[in-house]
Amino acid sequence: MGQYTYEILLACGVLSPLVSFWLLVFAGPKLGKPAAGWVAVVLGMGVPLVLATIVLIGWLGETEGGRAALTAGAYRGTWAYIGTIPVTVGVKLDSLTVAMFFMVTLIAFLIFVFSIGYMKGHSDEVAGKSKYHRFFAYLSLFGFSMLGLVLSSSLLFLFIFWELVGLCSYLLIGYYFDKGFASAAAMKAFITNRVGDFGFLIGLMLVFMHLGTLDLDEAATVFAQQYAAGTGIFASHFTLFGWSLATIMGVGLFCGAMGKSAQFPLHVWLPDAMAGPTPVSALIHAATMVAAGVYLVARVYRLMTPEALAFVALIGCLTLTLMALIAIVQVDIKKCLAYSTLSQLGYMIFAMGCGAWIAALFHLITHAFFKAMLFLCSGQVIEGCHHEQDMRKMGGLMKKMPVTGITFLVGVLAIAGTGIPIPGAEIAGRKIGLGGFFSKDEILAVAYVRAFEWDDISKHEEHGEAHGAGHTAAPEPEGSRAMLVADRTQAEHHDEHQPAAAAHGAQSTHDSHGGADRAAIFKDMKKLPSWMFYLAIFTAYVTPFYMMRCWWMTFMGKPRDQHVYDHAHETPLMYVPLVVLAIGTFVSSYFLFRPLIEDASHSATSAAMVLATDGELGTEAIHAAHGWLRWYVGGAFLVGFIVAIAIYRNGLGLAEQLKKVFLPIHTILWNKYYFDEVYDVVWVKGCVLVAHIARFFDTYFIDLLVNLSAAVTERIAAFSGLVIDNHGIDGIVNGIAKTSIDIGGVARAPQTGRIRNYVLFATAVATVVVVCVLAFGMDSGSGAATVASSVAP
């Protein structure tokens, strides 16, 4: 198949659920109850599954070189510019994408089908109203977002789809939003994820600023170049908690994964998320979305520094241990599975941190199959038992639900890592075992080497690198190279036994940076603290215990609640997906996905450190580790099973007694280490308190200032109006007026209104004037004389 064929098929696979989503949004109510569901099954996931299968088949037929060419030539278009830096939209086309795409579509398709059966009764009703089409619309939207996430080639698009799957999760957890706890859980999930996204954003900002691109591949290249040259992000001397800027970037990006994959201490949302319908728990909160965190770490692996990976390992280790312990005391069947999911996610993250890139993703895929199956089984049980989730009220359901019971057991065996660790017990050259047997085993093997044999190996690498720099393909002693440092060059020179130094030498001829930088950064990796390894091994024993406990309490023993037992039944439409998943758990994971992921590791992790261990790849040291480890891990499931059965064989009596003995520990586990309570007080209440302080400040301080200034202005105005204006300026004006009036009053007195007076007055004045003129006026006097003289005859 050509480049475009792959891209178009994958793009159609992403867009098809979106079409289904819009169709259901607009036409959903008209389609009615079963039809809307089938639209989602066919258009929402059926089409993508078919396309994914075609892609997978085509991809398996490609050669190594062909795959590399396809990866390199994948589509990149410019979506927008941030400042002057383009944000590309494109298809990330490599083996990991193909594997994830197929895995997601397959599991999602089965769960969609299961959902139709699950929603058959009244499960679609919210407060008595059917929201059937809405449920499938959300599922379709989730399909779109998840597939988009898998396909994204740019960190920003990864982030966009990342948030969109978060939205779908929010909507689906809150599907029964009439229930207070469901809407609260939805909100909790979204906000906790946002906390992680805050870190993601910081990582994104650092990538954007220092690497100058948001494209995953380009960023990795630039990162490697900067590492080699000591420029860019490596030029900064800024440190925080002893972390360099580059480490902060990696940790920041990992914070996103912590949110989505519910890693300690952001794990609190996942158990609550079980408030959603069970198919949702299976799809989103077990198989796909929560694994997106691991997928993200896988994708940004090339941007991780050894310190960042150490942090990743630490978080993973804490999560896997603490959550497994909580699972022991859970009585709610879904919660028990939820904590088991948390623990398994912890394993994956821990593996990433150890450098077991391949093992982590491998575990992701095997886990997706068996955990989806387990959740669907629990859905079957819950639906069958009239929405009863308390395992203490179940028991003996095997008789009523044989198919569910058996498929559940398959899941339990798979998660426990059941297999036959005896050397020689092989079929077609492979060990016999279920998914978890291989993946967990490999994680632990790498962890072992990192914890105990790392110093020798890294010294060797350093040595090898020195040789590599000198282009001397000096053969290293066989057996010393325990780790495979995988990169693209190695994919081309696919000689597994070629010494490391030779590989590096070859690398440097192909790529001026890659090899040496990778080796240098690899060399910086520290030894893993041994307690991490012990915790991981310890948890490998706990896992079978709580899973078997869960299964036994539900399906074996005597029925503890007759009402629940009487009601229990199976729905045929719902167990078809179960059976398919069970088969998938058995066969597909190892034979199909392990090679694909291994292949992906060549291109996806170049310029970083990947440790792989496998029967074929490893050498003496790893074989040794693997060999005796296999006994411990292989034995683990037996020990766990036996203890669980021993305790729960005769009902809950013994368990109750043990609970009394270990009461303090039980209380702590029962309350989930009081995380919810502490978060509620510190973050939720704290935030609301601060908010109220802010509001108080706003209302009574800032507004007070505003009103005060208004009041002061008013006072000033009043002062100037009353005092200055009224008594000052107005005083002058009014004074003039008053004087005029007074004068007028005086002048008014002679105005008697009697004509006689006026005449008298006028006459008097005239007389006075004439007298004056005659007496004093010289001119007028002379004038008079002139008149007199002129009239003289």
Partner 1 sequence: MDLLTLIVFLPALGGLLCLFVPRAQVRVVAVLASLATLLVSLLLFPTFLGGAEAAESIFGTSYGKLQHVIRLPWITGEGFEIEYFLGIDGLGFPLIILTTLVSFLSCLASWNFDTWKINKGIRGYFFLFLLLETGMLGVFVSLDFFLFYIFWEVMLLPMYFLIGVWGGPRKEYAAIKFFLFTLAGSVLMLVALVAMYFYGGAAIEAAGGSVPSGYRVTDSGAPVAITHGTFDLIELATNDVIQKYFSAKATLFLGMRFAPIMFMFLFIGFAIKLPSVPFHTWLPDAHVEAPTPISMILAGVLLKMGGYGFLRLCYPIFPLGGEYWAFLLATVGVVSILYGALCAMAQTDFKKLVAYSSVSHMGYVLLGIAVMTPAGFQGAMFQMIAHGISSPMCFFLVGVIYDRAHHREINRFGGLWLTMPKYGTMATIGFFASLGLPGLCGFIGEVWVLLGTFDAGSKYTWAYPMAILAAAGVILTAGYILWLIRRVYLGNEREEYRGFPDASGREIFILVPMAILCIALGVLPMQTVFNFTNGTLDLLLAGVTDTINAMI
Partner 2 sequence: MLSIGLTHYLVVAAVLLCTGLFTIMTKRNAIGILIGVELLLNAANVNLVAFDRFREGGLFDGQIMALFIIVLAAAEAAIAVGICINVYKNLATVDVDSARQLQG
Binding site for partner 1 (CB under 8 A): 79-85, 126-127, 129, 156, 159-164, 167, 170, 174, 177-180, 183-184, 186-187, 190-191, 194-195, 197-198, 201-202, 204-206, 208-209, 687-688, 690-695, 698, 702-703, 705-706, 710
- The residue among 660 and 756 lying less far from partner 2, judged by its C-beta, is 756
One-letter amino acid of 34: P
- The residue among 720 and 767 lying less far from partner 2, judged by its C-beta, is 767
Among partner 1, partner 2, none, residue 737 binds (CB under 5-8 Å by kind): none
- The residue among 44 and 505 lying less far from partner 1, judged by its C-beta, is 44
Binding mask 22-61 for partner 2 (x = CB under 8 A): ----------------------------------------
Answer for the pair 672, 265: CB distance below 8 angstroms, yes or no: no
3-state secondary structure of 65: helix
3-state secondary structure of 81: strand
Q: Name the DSSP class of 127.
A: T
Could you say which residues in the range 493-512 bind partner 2, by CB under 8 A?
none
791 makes contact with partner 2 (CB under 8 A):
yes
Among partner 1, partner 2, none, residue 660 binds (CB under 5-8 Å by kind): none
- The residue among 156 and 327 lying less far from partner 1, judged by its C-beta, is 156
Among partner 2, partner 1, none, residue 126 binds (CB under 5-8 Å by kind): partner 1
The torsion of the CA quartet 52, 57, 60, 62, rounded to 10 degrees, works out to -100
Q: How far is the CB of 721 from partner 1 (least distance, A)?
A: 18
Answer for the pair 413, 373: CB distance below 8 angstroms, yes or no: no
| Cα–Cα distance for residue pair 660/281, rounded to 1 Å | 32
- The residue among 129 and 754 lying less far from partner 2, judged by its C-beta, is 754
Answer for the pair 270, 284: CB distance below 8 angstroms, yes or no: no
- The residue among 687 and 736 lying less far from partner 1, judged by its C-beta, is 687
- The residue among 706 and 787 lying less far from partner 1, judged by its C-beta, is 706
Among partner 2, partner 1, none, residue 752 binds (CB under 5-8 Å by kind): partner 2
| Cα–Cα distance for residue pair 577/583, rounded to 1 Å | 10
CA 731 centroid distance within chain = 76
For partner 2, how many residues bind (rule: CB under 8 A)?
13
Q: Which of 140, 557, 579 is nearest to 403 (CA)?
A: 579
Answer for the pair 422, 385: CB distance below 8 angstroms, yes or no: no
Q: How far is the CB of 98 from partner 1 (least distance, A)?
A: 25
CB neighbour list of residue 247: distance below 8 Å, 6 or more residues apart: 305, 307, 308, 311
Q: How far is the CB of 706 from partner 1 (least distance, A)?
A: 5
Among partner 1, partner 2, none, residue 657 binds (CB under 5-8 Å by kind): none
3-state secondary structure of 366: helix
Residue 711 region by backbone torsions, left for phi larger than 0, else alpha for psi between -120 and 50, else beta? alpha
Among partner 1, partner 2, none, residue 751 binds (CB under 5-8 Å by kind): partner 2
- The residue among 494 and 756 lying less far from partner 2, judged by its C-beta, is 756
Q: How far is the CB of 698 from partner 1 (least distance, A)?
A: 5
C-alpha distances (whole Å) from 481 to each of 475, 488, 502 are 11, 18, 12
Beta bridge partners of 144: none
CB neighbour list of residue 764: distance below 8 Å, 6 or more residues apart: none
Q: How far is the CB of 80 from partner 1 (least distance, A)?
A: 5
- The residue among 179 and 623 lying less far from partner 1, judged by its C-beta, is 179
Could you say which residues in the range 727-786 bind partner 2, by CB under 8 A?
748, 751-756, 759-760, 763
Among partner 2, partner 1, none, residue 316 binds (CB under 5-8 Å by kind): none
Per DSSP, which regions of 317-418 are E strands? Answer: none
Residue 277 region by backbone torsions, left for phi larger than 0, else alpha for psi between -120 and 50, else beta? beta
Element (H, E) at 604: helix 594-604
Residues that bind partner 2 (CB under 8 A): 748, 751-756, 759-760, 763, 790-791, 793
